[in-house]
Structure 1
Amino acid sequence: MKTARREAIRELVSRAFAHARPHAPRVSPDGRRIAWLEERGGTDSVVIRRLSGGPIQQLTGTVEPVTDLAWSPDGRSIAYLTGTSLRIARLRGGDTLVVEHAAGLSQPRWSPDGERIAVISRARGWGQIVLLPAAGTALTQLPAAITPSGVDVITYDWHPSGDEVVWEAVRNEENGNLVQLTISRTSGDKSERVVAGADCWATGGRWMPNGDGLIAADDRGGFFHVVHISTIGVRREIDPVDADDVLASNAPDEIPVPSPDGSLVAFLRYEPGGCSIQVRQIADGVDPIGRRLDAFPGNWSALSWLPDSSALVATGQSEAEPEDIWLLPLRSAARRITDSAPLVLPAPPSAPIVVSITARDGLPLKGLLFLPRGASASARVPTMVNGHGGPTWQFLRSWDPLVRSIVEAGYAYLTIDFRGSTGYGRDFRFALHDEWGHGDVHDLVDGARWAAEQPWSDSRFGVIGGSYGGYLTLCALVDEPALWSVGIDRYGDSDLALSYRLGDRPGRLDVERQMGRPDEPSKAPLYRRASPIFETEKIQAPLLMLHGRKDKRVVPRMTEIMARQLEIESKFHEVVWFDDEAHGWERRENQRKAAEKTLDFILAHLPPTVKS
């Protein structure tokens, strides 16, 4: 690629990262203000503004990034997490410490009366709910948890009375694919009752506004459905369509949400490459709107209702739209609340194409194909094949400057929702059990072979991915060494058994749920087969590895030992470390640096063949 063209692509990357990403929106109890997280001065801070518009006010200014926030019931304060501390910022000034030096805090939630703040803490080794006083002297030690030890709470919700919480967790030690919803008292008497998940994965329990039952999602029928669950466990499906799954990722911002008046439920439904916002009447499952509520096809998240149930607030993004916060009225047009779009950026080459591929064992697969301008039978192009993270996830149409720049530089970009991906039902998810680094890698290879038969392909390939996708990059390079011209591994595993022992507990439980324990005699061979570290001699393609030094999910040791083995085998590779990052890149300057390093490496070792 000519120098001028290369510099133009680098300028595109720089522009695409020029604006901070607004995320984690929270509407005030009176519906007049909205708070969210946005990078200010190199770290995420809480900012607020009126929902109707006006100036944005920065509410916090901490050295450590803010990771979560929650409005007080009176709308006068915001609780937020930063580092190992829980703090309260008051809108009229003042900042109070609630607790400090508390390990592994997440999901602060005020009690309905505003006197207590619940939070999930990992201080005792498991994710447990603890209740903290919202006023008084700051604590240096956490009180006893209201949920049992040995169980990791995934998400939870206060009962409107404040007397109970419902929480989600894996409670069946023999089957990690059964996820239960449990109701516990907040008085500390340890009484509890399981109301869902005895025979399925039940997720995202949210109380009805009057406290009469829960809204949740479960996969009892093989696909995730939105359900109403009574306080004694009676289940009723609200959305019974056996089609693309309701999005049920365990993330607090991606679960079904009942409206404040108790008549409607909003949820996210997968569609190829994205998810759409759906609304149903709780009583009969009828769609009261009859149209798409989201502003454009893409990746929507963080649903919440206005207090009068007239509109939703959500974040939306796609390959053409950077992540922004939107107001989505039920009866009128959507309105953008934030605007993070770069001022000058060319339109993307084209919308992605949904492709259907058949794996070698007959399993049908879906993927997304991004084609550069001019790609055709007379102007063929190389292809970068992507494996998404997770693995229990799927590729979603998102604002990704790296993907954008790769396509602008003249490459096709093919993403494969390999076996184990979400959105295609329980059987498809379970098809990855005992198949890490094997069946999923074959799906990526089969995707590349499908692409090689297309008229626009020049039959040259690279493989790229982050987290689990980075791991798949390494696996693909040893599974079909001659197929690939370049590989990009972003913070991926290399030795699965060692990663199981060194990584954090949530990641370990995820591996165990799908692969068993590496010390089980029947599982040890599967763990070895799933570990590319033992076959580095097979790798032929130049390899770039990027990793954060603070990563606890995939520890830096994974890249260190891979680099050592590649050095022993005299394989061409480069390693880029980010000292101030964990699992992925939070700081925009690091995102930009990682994208530039990746693009330069691809251009050097898999040069494009057409002007795009």
Structure 2
Amino acid sequence: MRSLLDIRLWAAFDIDAEGRVLAGNDDLGSLQLVEVDPDGTTTALTDLPSRCAGRYVPGRRQVLVEHDNGGDEKWQISLLDLTTPLGRPARLDDLTPVVSDPDHMNVLYDVTSASLIYSTNRRNDVDMDIVVRDLDTGQESVVFDDGGYVIGSSVSHDERSVAVTRLSLVPASTLVSVAGPSSSVALTDAEEPASHFVAGWAADDQSLVVSSDHAQEFHGVWALGLDGSWRSLVTSDDHDVAATLSRDGSAMVVMHHVDGADTLAVHEADGTHRVDVDLGPVHPLIVRWSADGSRFVVAATTPTDPGSILSVDAHTGAVTLLVDGRESIPPDLRERLVTPTVHRIPTPDGEQVPCFRFAAAPTGDESDAALARASVGASVLHIHGGPESEAVQMYSAVWQALALCGFEVLVPNVRGSSGYGRRWVSLDDVELRLDSVADLAAIHDWLPTVGLDASRSALWGGSYGGYMVLAGLAMQPERWAAGVDIVGISSLVTFLENTSAYRRAYREREYGFLDQHREFLEKASPLTYLDDLVAPLFVIHGANDPRVPLSEAEQIKAALDDKGVDCELRVYPDEGHGLAKRANRLDAYPDAIEFLVQHLSGSGG
């Protein structure tokens, strides 16, 4: 378990004109910036107290660094000058502050040779404005202040306009606007139940390329005119299609998404196919184009690859492996990692729940074999967060470690998950919330049909997945033997009352509004069913969590202690919404897995 959890994790953030990649890994304990040269040589760039990300400044040997404090998500933006190498990773005092406002969230979205484009909620703590900052003079201009929760922004080629994507108050939906110095114009309908993600600006700046499920079941790639017109570029009738447009608007990487994995191809800007990219099905963590459109970088993961970084020639599709993620896996474990099978699990109301099944891994030494024998037939359901999210075919140290311990690991996309069409993602909205919880029972009923012991099955999940763990244990107490809840919601009412102000309305759109749906929110809250909750529980939470406050964990812990139910709570003072630091993962996850071994073992623990 510890060997898997100690494997280096990679990310990629940008690629410059010389083919250097701004990447990240957690060698120093949390995700820090690393530069990867075209020949694969790596140089550590930062050693900050908390995780960070970044972007190159085009035409300069400089990096804009985005960093927070202990997982609080109050992002700050600083400059790292690479002109004169330090000879060591930069610490916080080696950086030059650019946007320094530790009381607010400042998110880096785009960079040009002259300007930084970022969002900030400094105006009223709730709404996010888009600001353009001159990198030389420091002069700032607010170009968008129409309110709302911004999730993306990109600047036009003439640098006179920005495209802004923000959440709408319709579940699983977004709005796209274009803003300039004096006005902003909404390009999409605020009432339409559709989500749109901007891939980039067309070369003439007269339209945007977006991935959208506008007027159709699945996401496709569209040209969205500045007059609000729509033109289809690449679509499919049975799966999602997304794209990332090159910076010059000449070509795009198109991703066909089926059952949690993507195949990639390069298309011309008008949608015409240019060349396939021979990567096989992967989960692309990021795709970023070079400024001249000649190449792009992909950070990709699979269930057996914790993250490789590849440079792709945009004209030929030729792939150059810069970082092989599998090299950090100990050789004795590399061939034992499990690739899942894909299933559709029937529900009593006629639906089919997509699910990945990681079979128990082949045994290694005798101690592994003994553990596997004790765990045979036991299973763990891992439920993703969101809820408007998706379990994908990626590397997870937890999934693989559970499989190596002899458990069958089931990773479902219960109703409400994205990636399976607009209808599926809407099937858990507000009063339909408990239909999603009912999918857990359907999966439990399915276990014996594949030879698994239904009396030895546990739930594991984080964030919304943590809510699902608590809801399953509380509302289906006869089914589940144990649970692991990570930054989960124990009461939808107290969660909505106490989450960060900038998130509240956009969580209410999914779960229900406090002033309209309080009775149902109480009905759907695990804490309401406390008297029925008897399964042992392991709870993990970050003290600085701005999304699901620590109080959600504290109240379920206190309530179960009063009942005499076995409940262990681990609180990490330097973490936020999840565990970003390797040391904390190594402290928490092996013990959580051992907790399940004890409670699910066929030999009684």
TM superposition score normalised by structure 2:
0.88
Q: Which runs of 5+ in 1 are unaligned?
A: 1-12, 248-255
Structure of greater relative contact order (alpha carbons < 8 Å, 6+ residues apart): 2
How many Å separate the matches in 2 of 1:60 and 1:495? 39
Deviations 1:62-92 (A, max 9, x none): 33432x3122121321111223532211211
Determine whether 1:245 maps to 2:244. Answer: no
Determine whether 1:230 maps to 2:217. Answer: no
1:390-539 map, 5 Å: 390-435=386-431, 437-457=433-453, 459-505=455-501, 507-520=503-516, 523-539=517-533
**1:315 alignment partner in structure 2:** 299
Determine whether 1:181 maps to 2:176. Answer: yes
1:290-439 map, 5 Å: 291=276, 293=277, 295-329=279-313, 331=316, 333-340=318-325, 341-346=328-333, 347-348=335-336, 350-373=338-361, 381-435=377-431, 437-439=433-435
In structure 2, the CA distance between the partners of 1:333 and 1:266, relative to structure 1 (3 Å rule), is closer
Q: Retained in 2: the 8 A contact 1:436–1:530?
A: no
How many Å separate the matches in 1 of 2:31 and 2:413? 31
Give the drift of 1:306: 3.6
**2:185 alignment partner in structure 1:** 193
How many Å separate the matches in 1 of 2:361 and 2:64? 48
Report the residue type matching 1:41 in the other structure. L
Deviations 1:430-471 (A, max 9, x none): 111124651111101101111122235465211111111111
Q: Structure 1 residues 298-307 or 354-363, which shifts more?
A: 298-307
**1:550 alignment partner in structure 2:** 544
Give the drift of 1:177: 4.8
How many Å separate the matches in 1 of 2:111 and 2:116? 4
In structure 2, the CA distance between the partners of 1:394 and 1:608, relative to structure 1 (3 Å rule), is farther
Deviations 1:463-496 (A, max 9, x none): 1111111110000011211111111111100010
Q: Retained in 1: the 8 A contact 2:172–2:426?
A: no
How many Å separate the matches in 2 of 1:322 and 1:489? 23
Equivalent in 274, 299, 304 of residue 288 of structure 1: 274
How many Å separate the matches in 2 of 1:575 and 1:24? 34
Report the residue type matching 1:132 in the other structure. R
How many Å separate the matches in 1 of 2:254 and 2:108? 20
Q: Retained in 2: the 8 A contact 1:381–1:456?
A: yes
**1:3 alignment partner in structure 2:** none
How many Å separate the matches in 1 of 2:49 and 2:362? 47
Deviations 1:345-379 (A, max 9, x none): 422354211011111211122101111147999x9
Q: Retained in 2: the 8 A contact 1:348–1:404?
A: no
Give the drift of 1:321: 0.7
Q: Which runs of 5+ in 2 are unaligned?
A: 69-74, 85-93, 364-371
Q: Retained in 2: the 8 A contact 1:385–1:448?
A: no
How many Å separate the matches in 2 of 1:396 and 1:474? 22
How many Å separate the matches in 2 of 1:89 and 1:181? 32
Q: Retained in 2: the 8 A contact 1:273–1:367?
A: no
How many Å separate the matches in 2 of 1:327 and 1:502? 44
Q: CA RMSD in A?
A: 2.6
In structure 2, the CA distance between the partners of 1:33 and 1:280, relative to structure 1 (3 Å rule), is same
Q: Retained in 2: the 8 A contact 1:273–1:368?
A: no
**1:5 alignment partner in structure 2:** none
Q: Retained in 2: the 8 A contact 1:15–1:345?
A: no
How many Å separate the matches in 2 of 1:468 and 1:445? 17
**2:64 alignment partner in structure 1:** 79
Q: Structure 1 residues 76-85 or 119-128, which shifts more?
A: 76-85
In structure 2, the CA distance between the partners of 1:49 and 1:442, relative to structure 1 (3 Å rule), is same
Q: What secondary structure does 2:470 align onto? A: helix
**1:258 alignment partner in structure 2:** 245
Give the drift of 1:154: 1.5
In structure 2, the CA distance between the partners of 1:482 and 1:95, relative to structure 1 (3 Å rule), is closer
**1:91 alignment partner in structure 2:** 82
Q: Retained in 2: the 8 A contact 1:464–1:473?
A: yes
Deviations 1:9-60 (A, max 9, x none): xxxx2222334322132001x1431112233533433221322333x22333
**1:39 alignment partner in structure 2:** 26
TM superposition score normalised by structure 1:
0.87
Aligned residues: 571
Q: Retained in 1: the 8 A contact 2:120–2:129?
A: yes
How many Å separate the matches in 2 of 1:332 and 1:202? 27
How many Å separate the matches in 1 of 2:292 and 2:142? 34
Q: What secondary structure does 2:472 align onto? A: helix
How many Å separate the matches in 2 of 1:210 and 1:38? 37
**2:71 alignment partner in structure 1:** none
Give the drift of 1:136: 4.3
**2:574 alignment partner in structure 1:** 580
Report the residue type matching 1:133 in the other structure. D
**1:4 alignment partner in structure 2:** none
In structure 2, the CA distance between the partners of 1:487 and 1:339, relative to structure 1 (3 Å rule), is same
1:55-74 map, 5 Å: 56-66=42-52, 68-74=53-59
How many Å separate the matches in 1 of 2:244 and 2:56? 17
In structure 2, the CA distance between the partners of 1:388 and 1:88, relative to structure 1 (3 Å rule), is same
Give the drift of 1:311: 3.6
1:197-212 map, 5 Å: 197-198=189-190, 199=192, 200-212=194-206
Q: Retained in 2: the 8 A contact 1:411–1:608?
A: no
Q: Retained in 1: the 8 A contact 2:278–2:317?
A: no
Report the residue type matching 1:355 in the other structure. H
Q: Retained in 2: the 8 A contact 1:436–1:515?
A: no
Q: Structure 1 residues 492-501 or 367-376, which shifts more?
A: 367-376
Give the drift of 1:100: 1.5
Give the drift of 1:202: 2.1
1:102-181 map, 5 Å: 102=102, 103-111=104-112, 114-124=113-123, 125=125, 126-136=127-137, 145-170=142-167, 175=170, 177-181=172-176
Report the residue type matching 1:59 in the other structure. L
Equivalent in 275, 279, 286 of residue 266 of structure 2: 279
Percent sequence identity is 21
Give the drift of 1:308: 4.9
Give the drift of 1:131: 2.1
How many Å separate the matches in 2 of 1:506 and 1:58? 34
How many Å separate the matches in 2 of 1:509 and 1:425? 24
Q: What secondary structure does 1:438 align onto? A: helix
Give the drift of 1:121: 0.9
Q: Retained in 2: the 8 A contact 1:437–1:529?
A: no
Give the drift of 1:396: 1.2
How many Å separate the matches in 2 of 1:437 and 1:360? 16
